[in-house]
Amino acid sequence: MTGSTGTTFSTSPPSAFHAQEMASTVLQLPQELRQKVELVVDASYPFEACGVMIGHNENTAGEVAVEDVFHARNLNTERARDRFLLDPEDHLAADRVARQRGLEIVGFWHSHPDHPAQPSTTDLETAWEGHSYLIVSTAAFGTNVLKSWRLDGGQFLEEQIVRPSCR
C-alpha cells in the first residue's frame, strides 16, 4: 500500500461525516467507469459490492483522476448487506496493475444497499487519509446515487465528482 499511514484520533467524532464543508479535492470519474461500477453494484444487490480505483492522485489543482476501476471480493459474507471487507489479494492485484501502468491506487468504492451514500462509522474507522471513498447508494429499483468522500482531520468531507473532459 502506498502513501497510507495509520492515523489515531484522540477524540471520537460525533458523526462519520461533515455535512456542510466540502473537500478541497475533486474526483474526476469518466462516465464509462461510473457505469462499470454501477453495473456491479446493481448485480450485487442486495449485497454490498466493493472495489479499487486506480489513477493519478492529487495534482496542484487538487484533482484525483480515476483511470480504471476494479471489482474486488467482499470477504464479509456474514454481514454482506451492510459491511464489506475488501479481499487483500484483490487489493494487491490492483496495486500491481496500477504500478505497471504508471498509476497508483487513488481510492476505493463500495455500495450501500438501501442506505444513503454517506459514510458509516465503520467506513470512518477503516479509512485512510489521501484516498477517495466513492459510495454508491442503491435500491431494488436500481436508483444509484454516487458520492465521494475524503478523510480530513478525523471526519469525512464530501468531494465533488466531475466527468473529465476529453483527454
Exactly one of 67, 123, 158, 159 binds Zn ion (CB under 5 A); which one? 123
C-alpha cell recorded at residue 30: 469518466
Q: d(Cα 75, Cα 161) in Å, to the nearest integer?
A: 28
Please report whether residue 159 would count as binding Zn ion according to CB under 5 A. no
Among all residues, which ones are annotated catalytic? 48
**Residue nearer to Zn ion on the CB measure, 120 or 160:** 120
How many Å apart are CA 55 and CA 120, to the nearest integer?
A: 25
CB 105 within 8 A of CB 52: yes
Q: How far apart are CA 21 and CA 23, in angstroms?
A: 7
**Residue closest to Zn ion (Cβ):** 123
Which single residue is written with the C-alpha cell 465503520?
122
Write down the least CB distance from residue 125 to Zn ion, Å.
11
Question: Which range of residues in 9-17, 49-57, 92-100, 115-123 is near Zn ion by CB under 5 A?
Answer: 115-123
Range 49-78, binding Zn ion (CB under 5 A): none
Please state the closest distance from residue 91 (CB atom) to Zn ion, in A. 16
Least Å from the CB of residue 54 to Zn ion: 20
Instruction: Tell me how far CA of residue 136 lies from CA of 7, 39, 79, 103, in angstroms.
Output: 25, 11, 18, 24
The stretch near Zn ion (CB under 5 A) out of 4-12, 95-103, 118-126, 147-155 is 118-126
Cα 22 to Cα 60, 76, 158, distances in angstroms: 17, 31, 5
Q: Which is nearer to Zn ion, 30 or 113 (CB)?
A: 113
Q: In the block, which residue shows the cell 461525516?
A: 17
Kindly determine how many residues on this chain lie close enough to bind Zn ion according to the rule CB under 5 A: 2
- Report the nearest approach of Zn ion to the CB of residue 152 (Å): 17
Which residues contribute to the site for Zn ion (CB under 5 A)?
120, 123
